Structure formats: structure tokens, C-alpha cells
Amino acid sequence: DRGGFDLVLGNPPWEQLQYDPREVFAQTHPEIAAAPNMAARNRMVAKLEVADPTSYARHLVALRGMDGMRLFMHASGRYPLASVGRLNTAPLFLEASRSGTKQGGRVGVIVPSGIATDAFTQELFRELVESRELASLLDFENRRLLFQGAHSSQRFSLLTLVRAGNPSGSASFAFFAQTVDDLHDTDRRFTLSSEDLLLLNPYTGTAPVFRTRRDAEITAAVYRGFPVLGAADGDQPWEFRVRLMFMLNESSDLFHMQQNLDEVGGVMEGNVWESPSGSYLPLYEAKMATIDDHRAADVVISPTAVQRQGQPSPVTDAEHRDPGRVAVPRYWIRADDVERQSAEPSASWFLAYRDVTASTNERSVLVTIVPGGAVAATLRVVHTDVQTAAFLQGCLGSFAFDYIARQKIGGTHLTLTYFEQLPVPTEDDLAALCSGSEFIRDRVVELAYTAWDLESFAIDLGVRCPPFEWRPSRRELLRAELDAAFFHLYRIDRDDVDYIMDTFPIVRRQDEEAHGEYRTKRLILERYDALAEASASGTEYETVLDPPPADPRVAHPESTRPNWAPAPS
């Protein structure tokens, strides 16, 4: 009768409200849990209605119980902000705690850190930001096992609200703390205003993930100078749209494995199966691609795995040197099914980036050009014109862009919400860099076009020659020139470039193990200085590459063209 509690404290459960038959049948029917995909699993469960009615009835009870709970959360009106998308109990408890606290009261809860960064909780967190209720968000990694029962990589936050609103509009933040003492580190803990948060994530109001005060300052400066990819009101710097093609679960009834293809008859040409009944196109998955490389790995089936049957098998440098070597998938899809699914049926290549990622990975944004056809939803397809694709390939693959993205990715997915709120240079910025688009195009096409299955991408860019040779040391220099150029485009000064490169510890460690030095950083700083010197003197930048980027002299001979890649007219 006084309007709610003075204080609500809690450590609510963190449970996905999602039915998973693998959990129900793991003990009684392990073959169902081990099914290769959802379509196969559903067929096996359906057979239980006759073969094992007791187990089937238990399945229906579990399914109805979960559906009933989700229906209540969505329809009760009690959780208007937290009952969005894939439900989790933590944000539901947070909203209940907030609504049960009186004006002037406080809320303190321990919740997964995704509460501030994930797409499904963005409406709830934005409300906390715009209402100025957020007092602090203190993020921890569980590496010291503060919670013994949780995985060491689990991240959680101490979230504090002031229900009357925070008069200053500023909140205290810390990220990746491991002990309570880390919260007293003045470089690690900082404040951001509501206006800062809305500048950095204009469409969602979610929180960026800054490890230090310097990260916050560099990132804010970039956002003040450049529009975001998904800018509205005609300010979008580049025209594009992102879409998902084939969900690995929902579309699994369209997938064909090698044994299925053997049954229909035919022959493999490259990685396309040609049969009497039509063509079957390879399904490109995220694990097959990495930065500037659409054939980083084959996908092999593990006969012993239950939930991770398809594992990447890296393509070696020796194999990369063969321009006819293509990536081998685990699934193929009939060409007419791909045609029905694709919004761009004539596309012979796509720009695509990996959906699954993390800010703690070696690199967070993995982008490449892939052959047109079937692409799994683990790769987000970016539809755009070829010049924009070449620019975005160079930009999104740069350390500058990756660094900014790492401040924003709070979970394990580079969602469209994150992607559209990342800043990029414009065509006007590009015109001021050396030879502008040609500088980027020549380096991107040589890095991307190393096999015959991307000939159409090169032709669309105006490059007509066989694929470029795979030379690792040359590729390092090509990428270093692009990275240095994008640091300049983002107007990041040299001291900050030096600092940013040190925020990629896995890259550094691998370089030092392989070369005895952090070679990637050295090459980028050398090219950064050379570009700065050319700009200061008003002269054209001279590449260190001989022959220069995209020169036909570093292309394979025409005689390497395989039968499955006919010469274009």
C-alpha cells in the first residue's frame, strides 16, 4: 500500500525457456539426442507415438509445460519489456523486481551480462537508460570461479537501479572484472551518461563493453565522426541489406549429405553435385570461412559427437595454392530449392560474415566473399553492389573495425542489431585516401580471388585474369596496407593504433610463437607511417609489394582452369 518495496535484492535463475527434446531423451533414447539435425530428430520422436507411448507421452507433457509457461509470460501483461523473443528467466525476474519497487527504491540483481547487450533484452535495457534508472552495471568474468557451478567463461553483472530516476543521468560501468578489487581500478571503472549510450548504440540503447576508460574515449571519438551502417533518414553511408538464408534447424529437411547424393547418382564438379535430376549446391557454413578466405576449412562429420557433428578440417597452405581446390561442405541443397529461398537468384557471389563470435576471440568480425548459392544462417549474407562489397570486405576485415565491434559485442553473436550500429567511413572519406576505391579494390580482389569459384566476383570488379596465387607473406603485406589505410580513414592517431593492436592478445601470441615478434603490429605501423608521410608530403603512396596489388603477374596461368569453371563469354 506504500507503492512497492524499498529494496529488492536477488540472484534470479538464468534459464532459457525453450523446449529441447535432446534433454528429455538423453537417457532413455540417446539416438534421438544424437540425431544430425532437427528434422531427423522430429521424425524419430514422432515414431515413438507407436513404438514407445510412455516416452512419447512424457515428451508431450514436457512440450506443453514449456509452451504454457511461455504463453503466460507473453500474454499476462506482467512482462511487457522482458517477454521478447527467446525467453530467459533472468530478465523476467529483473522486470518483476523493477515493477515491484516503489519510486525512490532500489533494485540490485545478479544477471547475465547479456541483459545490457543482447537483442532480446534491448527494449528492457533501453527503458532503464532513457528513464535514467540505471545506477551501475558491473560485469564479471567467472574465471576465478566466484560461482562454482558456472563455467569459467560465464559473464554476469551486478545491476543496480534507482527507481526514482538517477538525477545525473550517468551510470557507473566496469567490464571483465574478475575480483571485487578490480572494481576499484580507476582505469577499469568509468561513467557513461544516457546520452553517451544512445550515441554509441543509437537504435537500441544497449551498453557497449569497454575494458578501459581509453577504449571508451577512442570509440566515442569514432562515433562522433562517422555514421553507423544502418543510419536512417538518408544518412546511410552504403546501400546494403542483411539476410539469413538457410537455418540449420528449420531448413534441415532440405539438406542432403554425401550418402544421399550417392543414391541419386551423378558426379561432383568442384563442390557442386551434378545429377540426372538436377544440381545440388554446397551449403556454406561459417566454419568454412574466415577473413579474406572462403575456403578456410572443409566440414567433416564426427561419428562420435552428439551435438557438434560437423567439425572444420582446415585447408592447408599447400592446398590453398591449388586454385581448383574448393571447400567441401557437409550438406548440399537442390538448386531449385536454393532458387526459391534466395532473394537474389542471379547472384554468383555474396559478401558474408560469421554470426557466432565473441569479443575475446582471436578476431571478432570474420568476413569474406563466398560463391553464390546456398549459405547457412551461421553466415549473414550482405546484399549490395560489387563496389560496396569490396569496400565492406576491406573495412569489416580491418583491425580498426574489429576493435570498435569488440566494444559492442556482449554475447556470442554479431547480430544485425550490433552490425547496423557499427560506424563506417563514407565515400567522401574514401576519396581522400590515396587512390580511394582502387586502393581498396586491388588489395581486396587479390586477397579474396584465390580460386576459380570466385571468378565472377573479380570480373564484376573489372579484373579479368585467373585467380591470384596464395602467397602467405604477400597476403600479410596486402592486409597490413588495408589495415593501415582504415586506421587513417577512422582518424585514429598512431599512439592509439599502437594501443589498439595490443588489445588483440591471441594475434600477438601467435605472431611471437611463429616469428619471435608481433609482426602484424609492426607491419601495420610501418604502413601507417608511410601513408602518413605520403599524405603530409602530398605525394602518392607507393606500395611495398612487387608486383603491385592485383597485378596479373601474381595470377595463376590460364591452364589451371578446371573443367567445372568454363571460361566466361
195-201: long-range contacts (C-beta < 8 A, 24 or more apart)?
195/169, 196/220, 197/129, 198/129, 198/130, 199/223, 199/224, 200/408, 200/421, 201/408, 201/421
Please tell me the predicted confidence (pLDDT) of residue 350: 93
Residue with cell 582471436: 362
Residue 139, amino acid: D
Which residues touch 563 (CB under 8 Å, ≥6 apart)? 269
3-class DSSP state of 273: strand
Please tell me the predicted confidence (pLDDT) of residue 306: 46
Give the rounded distance of the alpha carbon of 78 from its chain centre: 33
Answer for the pair 118, 207: CB distance below 8 angstroms, yes or no: no
Which residues touch 549 (CB under 8 Å, ≥6 apart)? 442, 443, 446, 478, 481, 543
Please tell me the predicted confidence (pLDDT) of residue 19: 86
Instruction: Give the CA distances from residue 482 to residues 106, 399, 437, 440, 529, in Å, rounded to whole numbers and listed in that order.
Output: 49, 9, 11, 7, 13
Q: Positive or negative CA dihedral for 32, 34, 35, 38?
A: positive
Please tell me the predicted confidence (pLDDT) of residue 345: 46
Q: Quick one: cell of 17?
A: 525457456
Burial of 506 (0-12, 13-18, 19+ CB in 10 A): exposed
- DSSP strands (E only) in 445-551: none
Q: Positive or negative CA dihedral for 450, 456, 460, 464?
A: positive
Answer for the pair 286, 331: CB distance below 8 angstroms, yes or no: no
C-alpha to C-alpha distance for 286 and 375, rounded to whole angstroms = 9
C-alpha to C-alpha distance for 211 and 230, rounded to whole angstroms = 25
Please tell me whether the peptide bond between 547 and the residue prior to it is cis, using omega within 30 degrees of 0: yes
- Compute and round to an integer the Cα radius of gyration of the chain: 26
Q: What is the pLDDT along the chain (569 residues), one digit of tens a residue?
A: 778 999 999 999 998 888 888 888 888 898 988 887 778 888 999 999 999 999 999 999 999 999 999 999 999 999 999 998 889 999 999 999 999 999 999 999 999 998 998 878 989 999 999 999 999 999 999 999 998 888 888 889 999 999 987 777 799 999 999 999 999 999 999 999 888 888 898 888 888 889 899 999 999 999 999 999 987 666 788 889 898 889 887 888 899 998 889 888 999 999 999 999 899 999 999 999 999 999 999 998 865 544 456 789 999 999 999 999 999 999 999 999 998 876 554 589 999 999 988 877 899 999 999 998 899 999 999 999 999 999 999 999 999 999 999 988 877 888 888 899 999 998 888 877 766 679 999 999 999 999 999 999 999 999 999 999 999 999 999 999 999 999 999 999 999 999 999 999 999 999 999 999 999 999 999 999 999 999 999 888 999 999 999 999 999 999 999 999 999 87
3-class DSSP state of 102: strand
Which residues touch 299 (CB under 8 Å, ≥6 apart)? 285, 287, 288, 310, 311, 312, 313, 328, 329, 330
Kindly report the number of other CB atoms within 10 A of residue 193's CB atom: 15
Nearest CA-CA partner of 168 in 127, 210, 135 = 135
C-alpha to C-alpha distance for 371 and 455, rounded to whole angstroms = 9
What is the model's pTM?
0.83
Give the rounded distance of the alpha carbon of 381 from its chain centre: 11
Half-sphere exposure in the Cβ direction for 397 (13 Å, CA):
27
The angle at the Cα of 428, spanning 423 to 430, to the nearest 5 degrees, equals: 75
C-alpha to C-alpha distance for 387 and 461, rounded to whole angstroms = 7
Please tell me the predicted confidence (pLDDT) of residue 13: 93
Please tell me the predicted confidence (pLDDT) of residue 2: 78
